[in-house]
Each structure stands twice: as structure tokens, then as C-alpha cells.
Amino acid sequence: MTESEDIELWDNARKVWEPGTLWRQPDTQLVLRAEEQWRGWMEGVAAINVDRELGVTLPFTYAHWPWGFIAVQASRSLREEVYAVTRTINPGTDGQRVWVEGLMHLSTYEHACRAESHKGKPGIYLDLIATAPWNLPGVLTPPRYQLVGKILMRQAVDISRDLGFKGRVGLHALDDAALWYEKKIGMVSLGRDPKKENLEYFELEEAAAEAFYPLEGDDDEENPA
């Protein structure tokens, strides 16, 4: 069932908080809209770079993730959930348009943690998390909205707590996001996992989950999550 709550997004350019929405199990059309918006943006930036003979080197390593398919699968599962962060332009008018600022897919199956401090204890597994390309450093200066990734991570921590897992979260990180998980989220790296495409595996421990609150509008750029 789709649920939503009001949130605030930090506008980097204007240095103000703007209203947004966090969606649980958003409808498939909203997720497909994200795919369309993000793909269009990525293709546009890539074309500009080619015109400028810069090459295509922007951090769009998550471009192949099939969010529409993922949303459909999650809607049929009792143990998988998708979350979306959106903002609405010109609400209540003919020009109203919804932009998707971030997406997350997680599993609430008991995930056996690996860190020594809680080895074998249950946690949740965060499968995929991404912020819109215009929120990534290197695409816009400054990125349009900050803290989108942290808002989604906070939701993952909340779910872990609600399940009695004390905020424990595990995930495998893309290389260009590893530093963000370690430095900005406070996760512990447990090395590369040969069973998961040799991606680096991270866990959020109980103490770090407690320290994760509250979110603050700091000056750090939002990194890909």
C-alpha cells in the first residue's frame, strides 16, 4: 500500500528548505517517471560533454538499474519495499509537475550481520539507493538538492529499528559511493565481497545508527548513494 509523509529538502543554491514527499511503495508510474527523468538528464549531459569534447565520465554508474521492474516486484512481496523522494513544482496548477529526487529498494528479510560487534544478529539489507543525477557532485555546481541520500538512509534505519534490529543495515556499495557511506553515514567497511561482484560490503552498527540523528543541512555535497 502506498503511504507518504511530508519532508524537507535542502536547496543548495538558495540555501533554504523546500517541501518534499517521502513515498513508501510508490505506484509504478511514479517510478517509471523517475527512470524517464533521470535517463533524459543523463543523456542530455552526456551529449553536452561530447559536444565539448570532454568525454562521458560523469558518475552515472547506476544508470542500468531497472527501477520500474524493481517496483513491480516489491509491490508483490511482503519483504521488499521501495521508497521515493519527490518534490512538486507549481502544485495545484495546470503547470504542476512531480520530480523524483531519489529512490531506494530494501529487503526486510532478516539479514545476518557480519561485523564483530553484532556478528550473526539480524539487520535489514539495502539493495539499491540512488539520488537523481542533478543532485550529484560534478553534474551541477552546487548539486540541486542535498541530503536526499541521507533522508533515504534514515528511513532504512527507522525500518530496522521498527523490526527490532536496532538500526543495523547492510549493503554493497558501488566504488564511487563507498567513501560517502563511510564518511557521511558512518558505516563500517568489511572488505570486498567476491560473491557480490567484488563490491565493497558495509554495515551500519547500532552505535552509528544512534549517532545518525538528527539530519542537518551541512555544506557537504550529496554523493551518489
- pLDDT of the residue at 10: 93
CA distances from 103 to 100, 107, 160, 190, 224 (A): 8, 14, 18, 25, 11
Which of 6-20, 50-64, 103-117, 193-207 has the least mean pLDDT? 50-64
Residue 165 resides in a domain: yes
Residue 217 lies in a domain: no
Report pTM.
0.87
| Nine cell digits for residue 154 | 534514515
> Strands 169-173 and 122-131, how do they pair?
parallel
pLDDT of residue 176: 85
Q: Is residue 81 part of a domain?
A: yes
pLDDT average, residue stretch 68-74: 90
Banded model confidence at residue 121, pLDDT cuts 50, 70, 90: very high
pLDDT tens-digit readout, 127-160: 999 999 899 877 778 899 989 999 999 999 999 9
- Does 223 have pLDDT greater than 60? no
Q: Considering its fold, how many domains does the chain have in total?
A: 1
Question: Taking 50 as the threshold, does the pLDDT of residue 162 lie above it?
Answer: yes
Predicted local distance difference test score (pLDDT) of residue 40: 83
| β-pair partners for 204 | 169
- Count of alpha carbons within 13 angstroms of residue 177, beta-carbon side: 25
Confidence of residue 225 (pLDDT cuts 50, 70, 90): very low
Residue 160 inside a domain? The answer is: yes
The CA distance from 189 to 171, in Å, is 10
Please state the rounded mean pLDDT for residues 32-41.
Answer: 89
Inside any domain, residue 222: no
The set of cell numbers assigned to 185 is 553515514
Q: Is 90 exceeded by the pLDDT of residue 41? A: no
In tens, the pLDDT along 166-219 reads 999 999 999 988 999 999 999 999 999 999 999 999 999 998 888 776 555 444
Position 109 scores a pLDDT of 87
What is the band of 47 on the pLDDT scale with cuts at 50, 70, 90? Answer: low
For residue 185, what is the domain's CATH number? 3.40.630.30
Residue 78 lies in a domain: yes
- HEC profile for 157-211? HHHHHHCCCCCCEEEEECHHHHHHHHHHHCCEEEEEECCCCCEEEEEECHHHHHH
Is 220 a member of any domain?
A: no
Please determine, for residue 108, whether its predicted confidence score (pLDDT) is greater than 60. yes
The pLDDT of residue 163 = 95
219 within domain boundaries: no
For residue 169, the enclosing domain spans: 3-211
